Amino acid sequence: MDNENHDVFFEANKHGWNKRTAVHIGSSFYDNDAFKAGKNTLNKIELDELGNVEGKSLLHLQCHFGQDTLSWARLGATVTGIDISDLAIAEAKKLAKEINIGATFVCSNVYDLIANPQMQGAGSFDIIFTSYGTIGWLPNLDKWAAVIAHFLKPGGTFYMVDFHPVLWMMDDDLTTIKYPYHNFGVIAETSTGTYTDRNAAIEYKEYSWNHSISEILNALIAAGLSIRHFNEFSYSAYNCFNSVVQGADGMWRIKGMEDMVPMMYSVKAGM
């Protein structure tokens, strides 16, 4: 894995996320009009588990075009959002200006964040947050966790909620195991459409890496963080997969395998 040309992979992924972002901005999935009118895009899981953010500084890693970042700001946090997609960051800045919320957005690969000139003097943060489809774009979680440890204040909180690695083993219909559970190197694919519109007229190459739960937790522990909780959930908060059905609780489960496999997990940790 160390011999792989990660810069080429990251550049391709940036290009792919720029194409997705152009579709996502106007999608019903993200419903930007509702967000501008005051809708909070955060889910009950992260709101309940992270708790009160008022008056706290928050760094959002891999923030896409900023809706969740700005939702934390609406709840009283001073926010900084990071994303590899320059188009997503441009849209995040535009969105913050439209709704008149002060926020800092920086275009950067997570790995480059410590050296990024825009982060010099940024100091450390009370909270570092990341969510839903993020770490699969990173090959090495030790590097990821080192960035978290660098920017997290002593006594601060790191919180992540994401789709469970069991899902990333499956094919698009969530019926057959197609990929390994552990990180055995890059998964290279050509994709079309996006989770907000399967038929969107976009095509791009993407490079991802699967990470087991043990790899995730051990990376954080090795970086000096203490795990405060680890939770697993049998549902998805989002309708972004094929072959899912919505339950009475509003959550989405794999059709025919409802509540049989984990679909999301969350981790809270601290220095």
Summarised one tens digit per residue, pLDDT across range 135-158 is 999 999 999 999 999 999 999 999
Asked whether the beta carbons of 114 and 150 are under 8 A apart, the reply is yes
Asked whether residue 1 carries a pLDDT value surpassing 50, the answer given is no
What mean pLDDT, rounded, does the chain reach?
96
What is the CATH class of 6-162+181-235+263-270? alpha beta
Q: What kind and span of H or E run contains 104?
A: strand 104-107
Backbone angles phi, psi at 222, to 5 degrees: -65, -25
pTM of the full structure: 0.96
Domain residue limits, the chain: 6-162+181-235+263-270
Asked whether the beta carbons of 50 and 159 are under 8 A apart, the reply is yes
At residue 2 the predicted structure's pLDDT band, cuts being 50, 70 and 90, is very low
Residue 129 pLDDT: 99
At residue 4 the predicted structure's pLDDT band, cuts being 50, 70 and 90, is confident
